[in-house]
Structure 1
Amino acid sequence: MQANTLTPQKLFEPQVRYVIPVFQRPYVWEIEKQWEPLWADVRAVADELLETQNLAQPTEVSAHFLGAVVLDQQSNPAGYIQVRHVIDGQQRLITLQLLLNAVRQVAEKHGRPRDAALLKALVRNPEHIIEEDDELLKVWPILADRAPFQHAMDDDPGNDSGEHRVSQAIVFLRERIRDWALEGDENNATDRLRALTTTLARHLKLVVIDLEPGDNAQAIFEALNDRGSPLLAADLVKNAVFQAAERQHLDTEQLDQDYWAALSGDFWRQELRQGRLNRPRIDVFLNYWLTMRRAHLVPSDRIFADFRDHVLAQATDVRSVLAELKSDAQCYRQLDSHPPRSVPGTFHYRVIEVMDIAATMPLLLWLLRPGSSVPPHARDQSLEAVESWLVRRMLCRTTLADTNSVVVELIRHLGLQDPSEVGVATRRFLAEQTGDSRRWPHDVEVIDSLRQIRFYSVMIPRRRGRMILEALEDSYRSSKSEEAHCPRASLTVEHLMPVSWQKNWSAGVADDPVARQQRERRVQKLGNLTLLTSKLNPILSNNVWDNVDQKQSKRNGINQHSVLMLNKQLLAEHVRWTDEDIEERSRTLATQITEKIWTRPE
């Protein structure tokens, strides 16, 4: 490779096109990390140039280095515009073009025509030599950025608005430039814009690396990062896939439109919390996808290497890999949109959202992906078994740390079964686990635990506790009902005997230290909890269970205003509410959990 230090004028003045290959990531630079620092650097040089009052001899002002770009010369017929592929540095080149064009637009209104003309020559090729419209601009982005970039480079004020980062960048830069140029005496705008034009043309430097025949463009791409925006694992995956597509002589532009576009956009680059770290959704998906596909645990720092070595290396046609990725990505995107009453919808809510056990995502994706041949009844039976295994372990306060390994082994095991037997095979597999970190607790263990633990405390996090009560409510409803699931968003957990029981509930225990201690534990048990709407909960609060003034009693308030089956069952079975009633209801609800909701083969 050959490296040279060039100014923007030397880089962009020739009749040339810098094409961003389709395997590159979209434009990701943003205001705080890149645009603002870049403008500050450029402005500082322009201010220094103004202070010297020596625009005719600009070499006396120190240059500012913008970083490096890596280019790959493309063959083209003699007389045509030169074409180079941008292997690295596309974020810099796009931003630099936006900056040059923003200064040009301001200079055309407030500066010298000569400066505007010089800048125009750095962003557009002469119209009389181009044969296709896409040859007009010096830089040609990938499809996802192309339309916003074309709008940003023209002079139509109607194109200024838009959520795309390219659109936001041109507006940001133009506003900063205009404010700086018109700062103080507007009569000085011409000199200031002349200094800024000189700065952009001659005082910025880039290290331009031109690859030679035989240089490995993919290896170089994988080794480099842009300023402040490290490459995602997905960026490396995309690069490898489309490099392979070029070697297979496939139309990469068409592949980008047909397949990879489904994995592009802000949705996929949004960061998600995973453990202690935030990671882009696209990388999280690829992690799940590889774990599912290989039935093997894939560390987050091995996503690209595993994809390259175990997926791409075995693909004779990358179109099959892209088609599979697109299909499974669309499935992953819809995992949280299954009907609440469906088994997948319930599993996603209870296990993924509330219990936050993302380790089960590869299995959920394996069962629901379009390529799965598992029939719905077997799929549902499998998900119900896994949910029961997890909830029972949580209620027995046993570790869930081995879930990753169990899920991977289960996927591997299910892959060997007849699809129609996947549900039965899941139940059998989990029931056969014997280690302390893997056992599927029996009914008696769950019931004993629920009768003993302070359910509504740190032992069972509050959101999980509410989910258990919601499941109990659902279990008392008819599966044929239009409202087979309770309204999750509006319900809160209510203590029947209040936590502050001393005010209205102290009769018989106020002077007994042992009884007081027992009651402090008992009010947090499962049997003392129910669900009420967020409006009704504070109204009843510390009220007594029943008294002469029925309007003020908790029992009457629940009877009149709650429509939940959980509360109808409560009122039908308990006229009074005492410590003994709490114990009795704890046993009843624990039995309902083990026999009706989260069952286990004995």
Structure 2
Amino acid sequence: MDATKGNIYAILNGNKQFLIPVYQRYYSWELEQCSRLWNDIVDMQKKNKVGHFVGSIVNIAEQAMPTGVQKYMIIDGQQRLTTLSLLLIALRDYAEAHPEDGTINARRIDNMLLKNEYEDGDERYKLLLTETDRDLLISLVEKKPISNPGLSRILSNYNFFAGKIADMELQPKDVYEAIGKLQIVNITLDRNVDDAQAIFESLNSTGKELSESDLIRNYVLMGLEPVEQRYVYEHMWRPMELLFDYEKQDSVMDRFFRDYLTMKTTRIPKIDRVYEGFKAYHLNCEFATIRELCADLLTYATYYTNMVFRRSDNAVLKSLYSDIGDLRMEVAFPFLLKVHNDCAEGVITEDNLVEIIKMCISYVFRRSICDIPTNSLNKTFATLRNEIKSDDYMNSIKAFFVLRDDYKEFPDDEKFEKAFVTRDIYNMRSRNFILSRLENYGNKAPIIIENYTIEHIMPQNSNPRDEWKKMLGDNWREVQKTYLHTIGNLTLTAYNSEMSDNPFMIKMEMEGGFKESALRLNAYLIKLTEWNEAHIKERAQQLAEKAEKIWAYPEITDAELAPYQVEEKPAQKYTIDSYDINAFTKTLFDMLDRRICNLSPNVKREFKKLYIAYKLDTNFVDIVVQKQRLRISLNMRFTEIHDPKGICRDVTGLGRWGNGDVEVFFEHTSEIDDVMELIEQSYNKQAEE
């Protein structure tokens, strides 16, 4: 490794070329970063500072040639190198447009800092970007017309610098001088000695933070030989990025990698730890080569982007993808990736795929109507693939859903209907989704929900007109409070402002009123002359019956379900009195038990033979009753616990009752808050996963 401190002029001067490898991300600096650089230049020059450090450039020198251009492959620093090149192009263009200025040598900038004067082809340019940006930068260097600039950051940042130079906040010669004062550490690695990947990971860039996808791309492609690197990039990686419209949607690609890893491993990495999870997966995955791994990624990325961006030639699938997006049920993607691949490989039919997606949508939707907490859904869908029986594919999935109980349950028709007619639909995030699906179910000419607004048939006004009070009856306040935002009182209209809180018959007879409406949601209203509690309940019941068909419960016979029903053997029942507990430890236990159970209604307590377990999906804390204290096991790695009081013990690898590598004792009631702070860490870890 050779590290030298210098400036951009020293780095670019000479017969040399800096190449951005295919695994590097596209140019991504925005005006914010450019503005910061410009302000540093202005501040440095106005305060007459001798220099300003702007970061490092890390590169690998290609094999030296006795003649010709010495090439360097950029590992880190392309953002600042590209940005400084854009600033130099803007300075050169100013000098050429204003020859009377005479303080800047445009030819010097052109031939020493932007081009290799005596070279041809690509070797003519000091800086070659990746294919996404290469032609545009060359066009700026060569002053060629740009026919289709689009939303390029290259062009917008060049225009930013050109505008700043033209504004004369600094004299152009001062800008040129200040650029020379910008200090850069140029680090050149030896390919045979230095670990470029390790160095890349350790760099702390002051520019725009790399996304998880950026890090994964570098990890996958950096170690390949040039020919294989280009093949994998051009045939697999770049097509995958294009599926995501990656330059604008890098966060979507980050989520894809998380869901891909979840599907493959059934473990859910945190979104900011996806890169680490990917490296661990790669070391133990089934693929012998990077090419095979990237081919698999491209396959699943196709399924993923079809769902996210609602792409399909199958109209039914496309509509279901819209439902997934509208319900924001990305939590199901790991499982849906699996079934899409099984469909592509002929394990299931496209009709099966449609049925499974509908089942997942119904599961998520019914639970939301029944107000069942959603924090278990990610683990439910992460592990669902393990429940699939290849010889009974569809029934195994249906059985899984039907047999869930407690906080994982799939609400049946009775529970769903009861919640649907009483739920405050109006204040749900999915209210437009619900009303549009009710309206469009079985409709060959579906409406566009955006053309309508939601109308309360019985108005929201807390002091409605006398006609409404009379129609609703003496208990009109209670009727309004109970049913105002429920499905029975909601509809769609294009005339919301005109309807306002008018009496029911005016809403019915007015131009564009209910009687003239072609919407199916308003069909029940047309025959009425009044609107009261009975009609709200009757209409709600009708809509609930339709909702049961739209978001259906899985159909499976008792015979088909039987193989999946485990006959439970009567288990020995334990209680707190099953343990050797005394009055003091009982006081400690009651205090701690109450606090743990209050963490969430989803916490389940089980009295085991040797300890008491508290769990969400799995145990997060176990309690062993001892003579004068409680021994507590936290289901975490010892390195994960934050223990400011130093009261935890590392029991990794030691035999013990309970789960986890962290042990703490509860010996006095005064310790309750400290102990609970530790328990909450284990609870939060499992809840977040």
Alignment TM-score, normalising by the size of structure 1: 0.82
Paired residues for 1:483-502 under 5 Å:
483=445, 485-500=446-461, 501-502=464-465
Q: Which residue in 1 is equivalent to 2:17?
A: 17
Distance (whole Å) between structure 2 residues aligned to residue 582 and residue 507 of structure 1:
16
Counterpart amino acid of residue 500 in structure 2: S
Distance (whole Å) between structure 1 residues aligned to residue 264 and residue 65 of structure 2:
45
Q: Residue deviations 1:121-154, cap 9 Å, x none?
A: 43244433x2x41111112211112111111212
| Helix, strand or coil at the partner of 2:415 | helix
| Helix, strand or coil at the partner of 2:469 | coil
Matching of residue 148 in structure 1 with residue 146 in structure 2: no
Residue 29 of structure 1 deviates from its aligned partner by 0.8
- For 2:479, which of 518, 536, 540 is the aligned residue? 518
Residue 66 of structure 1 deviates from its aligned partner by 1.8
Counterpart amino acid of residue 112 in structure 1: G
Q: Which residue in 1 is equivalent to 2:107?
A: 117
Matching of residue 38 in structure 1 with residue 37 in structure 2: yes
Residue 28 of structure 1 deviates from its aligned partner by 0.7
Q: Percent identity of the aligned residues?
A: 24
Q: Residue deviations 1:48-90, cap 9 Å, x none?
A: 56xxxxxxxxxxx612222111121211332232111111111
Distance (whole Å) between structure 2 residues aligned to residue 79 and residue 65 of structure 1:
33
Q: Which residue in 1 is equivalent to 2:55?
A: 67
Counterpart amino acid of residue 35 in structure 1: C
Q: Which residue in 2 is equivalent to 1:441?
A: 411
Asked whether the 8 Å contact 2:215–2:275 carries over to 1, the reply is yes
Q: Which residue in 2 is equivalent to 1:258?
A: 235
Q: Which residue in 1 is equivalent to 2:488?
A: 527
Distance (whole Å) between structure 1 residues aligned to residue 175 and residue 370 of structure 2:
69
Asked whether the 8 Å contact 2:28–2:153 carries over to 1, the reply is yes
Q: Which residue in 2 is equivalent to 1:321?
A: 293
Asked whether the 8 Å contact 1:161–1:168 carries over to 2, the reply is no
Asked whether the 8 Å contact 1:455–1:465 carries over to 2, the reply is no
Asked whether the 8 Å contact 1:401–1:437 carries over to 2, the reply is no
Paired residues for 1:549-560 under 5 Å:
553=508, 558=513, 560=515
Residue 563 of structure 1 deviates from its aligned partner by 1.0
Distance (whole Å) between structure 1 residues aligned to residue 115 and residue 541 of structure 2:
81
Asked whether the 8 Å contact 1:497–1:528 carries over to 2, the reply is yes
Residue 575 of structure 1 deviates from its aligned partner by 5.5
Distance (whole Å) between structure 1 residues aligned to residue 354 and residue 150 of structure 2:
43
Counterpart amino acid of residue 21 in structure 2: P
| Helix, strand or coil at the partner of 2:408 | coil
Q: Which residue in 1 is equivalent to 2:613?
A: none
Cα gap change, 1:122 to 1:47, in 2 (>3 Å)? farther
Cα gap change, 1:225 to 1:423, in 2 (>3 Å)? farther
Asked whether the 8 Å contact 2:93–2:106 carries over to 1, the reply is yes
Paired residues for 1:356-371 under 5 Å:
356-368=328-340, 371=344
Asked whether the 8 Å contact 2:509–2:515 carries over to 1, the reply is no
Q: Which residue in 1 is equivalent to 2:266?
A: 295
Distance (whole Å) between structure 1 residues aligned to residue 165 and residue 127 of structure 2:
22
Distance (whole Å) between structure 1 residues aligned to residue 535 and residue 386 of structure 2:
47
Cα gap change, 1:179 to 1:244, in 2 (>3 Å)? same
Matching of residue 387 in structure 1 with residue 387 in structure 2: no
- For 1:166, which of 154, 166, 176 is the aligned residue? 154
Cα gap change, 1:12 to 1:523, in 2 (>3 Å)? closer
- For 1:581, which of 535, 552, 555 is the aligned residue? 535
Asked whether the 8 Å contact 2:19–2:71 carries over to 1, the reply is yes
Asked whether the 8 Å contact 1:8–1:204 carries over to 2, the reply is yes
| Helix, strand or coil at the partner of 1:506 | helix
Residue 179 of structure 1 deviates from its aligned partner by 2.6
- For 1:506, which of 469, 491, 512 is the aligned residue? 469
Number of residue pairs matched by the alignment = 546
Residue 405 of structure 1 deviates from its aligned partner by 0.7
Paired residues for 1:390-429 under 5 Å:
390-414=364-388, 416-418=389-391, 422-429=393-400
Matching of residue 470 in structure 1 with residue 458 in structure 2: no
Q: Which residue in 1 is equivalent to 2:617?
A: none
Residue 557 of structure 1 deviates from its aligned partner by 5.7
Distance (whole Å) between structure 2 residues aligned to residue 455 and residue 113 of structure 1:
72
- For 1:347, which of 310, 316, 320 is the aligned residue? 320
| Helix, strand or coil at the partner of 2:4 | strand
Distance (whole Å) between structure 1 residues aligned to residue 355 and residue 22 of structure 2:
42
Cα gap change, 1:503 to 1:320, in 2 (>3 Å)? farther
Q: Which residue in 2 is equivalent to 1:537?
A: 496
Moved beyond 6 Å, runs of 4+: none
Q: Residue deviations 1:223-267, cap 9 Å, x none?
A: 224323111111111111112422xx6432343232322344793
Counterpart amino acid of residue 466 in structure 1: N
| Helix, strand or coil at the partner of 1:206 | strand
Range that drifts further, 514-523 or 157-166: 157-166
Residue 385 of structure 1 deviates from its aligned partner by 1.2
Asked whether the 8 Å contact 2:456–2:491 carries over to 1, the reply is yes
Asked whether the 8 Å contact 1:91–1:226 carries over to 2, the reply is no
Asked whether the 8 Å contact 1:427–1:601 carries over to 2, the reply is yes
Counterpart amino acid of residue 419 in structure 2: S
Q: Which residue in 2 is equivalent to 1:56?
A: none
Matching of residue 233 in structure 1 with residue 194 in structure 2: no
Q: Residue deviations 1:249-295, cap 9 Å, x none?
A: 64323432323223447932446xxxxxxx72221222222223333
Q: Residue deviations 1:526-550, cap 9 Å, x none?
A: 2222222x2x33333333334xxxx
Matching of residue 220 in structure 1 with residue 203 in structure 2: no
Cα gap change, 1:162 to 1:472, in 2 (>3 Å)? closer
Q: Which residue in 2 is equivalent to 1:187?
A: none
Range that drifts further, 371-380 or 398-407: 371-380
Q: Residue deviations 1:203-222, cap 9 Å, x none?
A: 22211112233110011112
Q: Which residue in 2 is equivalent to 1:208?
A: 186
Distance (whole Å) between structure 2 residues aligned to residue 317 and residue 72 of structure 1:
24
| Helix, strand or coil at the partner of 1:531 | strand
Asked whether the 8 Å contact 1:491–1:531 carries over to 2, the reply is yes
Alignment TM-score, normalising by the size of structure 2: 0.72
Q: Residue deviations 1:151-200, cap 9 Å, x none?
A: 1212235579552111222222122123328x7xxxxxxxx444433333
- For 1:100, which of 88, 99, 112 is the aligned residue? 88
Cα gap change, 1:158 to 1:544, in 2 (>3 Å)? closer
| Helix, strand or coil at the partner of 1:408 | helix
Asked whether the 8 Å contact 2:92–2:109 carries over to 1, the reply is yes
Distance (whole Å) between structure 1 residues aligned to residue 529 and residue 524 of structure 2:
11
Residue 371 of structure 1 deviates from its aligned partner by 4.6
- For 1:430, which of 383, 395, 401 is the aligned residue? 401
Q: Which residue in 1 is equivalent to 2:276?
A: 305
Cα gap change, 1:554 to 1:520, in 2 (>3 Å)? farther
Asked whether the 8 Å contact 2:472–2:531 carries over to 1, the reply is no
Asked whether the 8 Å contact 2:425–2:486 carries over to 1, the reply is yes
Counterpart amino acid of residue 388 in structure 1: S
Cα gap change, 1:560 to 1:127, in 2 (>3 Å)? same
Cα gap change, 1:338 to 1:116, in 2 (>3 Å)? closer
Asked whether the 8 Å contact 2:459–2:484 carries over to 1, the reply is yes
Query: Aligned-residue CA RMSD in angstroms?
Result: 3.0
Cα gap change, 1:241 to 1:454, in 2 (>3 Å)? closer
Asked whether the 8 Å contact 2:471–2:532 carries over to 1, the reply is no
| Helix, strand or coil at the partner of 2:187 | strand
Distance (whole Å) between structure 2 residues aligned to residue 334 and residue 113 of structure 1:
56
Distance (whole Å) between structure 1 residues aligned to residue 247 and residue 122 of structure 2:
28
Asked whether the 8 Å contact 2:7–2:183 carries over to 1, the reply is yes
Distance (whole Å) between structure 2 residues aligned to residue 407 and residue 236 of structure 1:
27
Asked whether the 8 Å contact 2:9–2:113 carries over to 1, the reply is no
- For 2:351, which of 347, 358, 377 is the aligned residue? 377
Counterpart amino acid of residue 471 in structure 1: R
Q: Which residue in 1 is equivalent to 2:424?
A: 455
